[in-house]
Structure 1
């Protein structure tokens, strides 16, 4: 008859539950994996599959009971680490969507919006288009595999332990949020400049010919110029998205280093 002691069962459980919690924290918020269209069963199944592969290579676990207060504290820590890694890449996609919002409003497409299940709100059509383009670039450069690689390496650089995490890592995660506004404006700047010159030309035309109905001709001209410039500049967006995604992966690795206990 095969029998197991409480210590053996606890060792097997903590060697599986704690890594799984960190992995599920990442899969819950990271782009593509964390989309609401992906069923929860798929996310949990993928997390279990990755954990079964990674768990034999992990450093020794701390000798803490899974149901103790220290065990629950470690569980929460692992979840926060996974969230921090995935949130960095979520900020990258938020910057791309912000660029689409800015461009859409400048082109006069503020009315062209629909319900986005991911954000549970109204999203401009150009913002959604930029997001889809960023997802294609994300998959084309295998950034989803690189992000999983960063997560697996985090178990070596930031092993599971009962020591509290450094607050500097969470500060870096919050500071990276400024990328949403800075990068979003940089991506939209060429279109903003062209549309600004178009609006200035329309203003001069209105002053020189007051009988023209600026509201009747201004909207189609602005929209047409915006679509033409978007078509011309679209090939240059993909390299920018790729660079932004690579910066996000580097930032995720840096956050892991700064989360290490002092």
Structure 2
């Protein structure tokens, strides 16, 4: 009787141990993941989402993730937490891309002070629209499925129970940050070009007609032009951003 009970309990203990190890990584990543880990999402919802992701990811890792009869829990607690935070922060950079692009666009078009505190994180109106639009687009195009694939691929990039070496993690992180700033500048490029043309034109008009108050004429023009440019360019901006996010989630180890 006791042998039969041990045979039944053994697989259950192995499954719980596997789920616990996977949850350590997913739970840490869930704290900073976009959409699922935003501060506007209640903590209970984030906890349930982390558990659901664990239930999906853990069975797929059962054939390859060997823990043994006595897993080193203290070591796994450290390594999986570090791995989860690193993976979540890498995806969070794509939200920072939209925030940076929106701030650059707003500063260059004199819209930086309009509704600056409307979001949980202080952002100008353009940045708020970009972030909400980007997150909505990512969610509608299957972000939850891509996140599951991302977690599965992460065990090739950062194996369970292995401390990530700084010599490996630092170049990977620096590459992600440099990619984020380059992408943010690319997304904000239409607004920067329009701002440059506007300021050059304003300088020429002021030089030709010093008595004209060009600031009173130019302020409504740049505001209207920025809003029209936002309406025209935002679909292309979000499409470019979503494509970059998909490429990263499909292959996180790929150099930018």
- In structure 2, the residue matched to 1:249 is 249
Give TM-score scaled by structure 2 length.
0.84
Secondary structure in 2 aligned to 1:109? coil
Secondary structure in 2 aligned to 1:175? helix
Residue pair 1:27, 1:43 contacting (<8 A) in 2 also: yes
Distance 1:15 1:123, change over 3 A: same
- In structure 2, the residue matched to 1:16 is 19
- In structure 1, the residue matched to 2:38 is 35
Secondary structure in 2 aligned to 1:131? helix
- In structure 2, the residue matched to 1:171 is 171
Deviation at 1:103, TM superposition (A): 0.7
Deviation at 1:50, TM superposition (A): 2.8
Alignment of 1:128-167 (within 5 A): 128-155=128-155, 158-161=158-161, 163-167=162-166
Residue pair 2:138, 2:242 contacting (<8 A) in 1 also: yes
Give the Cα–Cα distance (whole angstroms) in 2 for the partners of residues 40 and 165 of structure 1.
Answer: 28
Residue pair 1:64, 1:71 contacting (<8 A) in 2 also: no
Give TM-score scaled by structure 1 length.
0.82
Residue pair 1:95, 1:179 contacting (<8 A) in 2 also: no
Secondary structure in 2 aligned to 1:123? coil
RMSD: 2.7
Residue pair 1:195, 1:225 contacting (<8 A) in 2 also: no
Return the match for 1:76 from 78, 94, 117: 78
- In structure 2, the residue matched to 1:258 is none
Residue pair 1:150, 1:253 contacting (<8 A) in 2 also: no
Matched, 1:49 2:77: no
Residue pair 1:62, 1:160 contacting (<8 A) in 2 also: no
Gaps of 5+ in 1: 256-262
Higher relative contact order (CA closer than 8 Å, sequence separation 6+): 1
- In structure 2, the residue matched to 1:97 is 99
Deviation at 1:131, TM superposition (A): 0.6
Residue deviations 1:115-149, cap 9 Å, x none?
532x4xx2111111111121122123213321222
Deviation at 1:45, TM superposition (A): 1.6
Distance 1:193 1:157, change over 3 A: closer
Matched, 1:233 2:233: yes
Moved over 4 A (4+): 1-5, 7-13, 155-159
Give the Cα–Cα distance (whole angstroms) in 1 for the partners of residues 16 and 181 of structure 2.
Answer: 43
Give the Cα–Cα distance (whole angstroms) in 2 for the partners of residues 171 and 25 of structure 1.
Answer: 21
Residue pair 1:107, 1:223 contacting (<8 A) in 2 also: yes
**Count of residue pairs brought into register by the alignment:** 247
Give the Cα–Cα distance (whole angstroms) in 1 for the partners of residues 74 and 172 of structure 2.
Answer: 25
Gaps of 5+ in 2: none
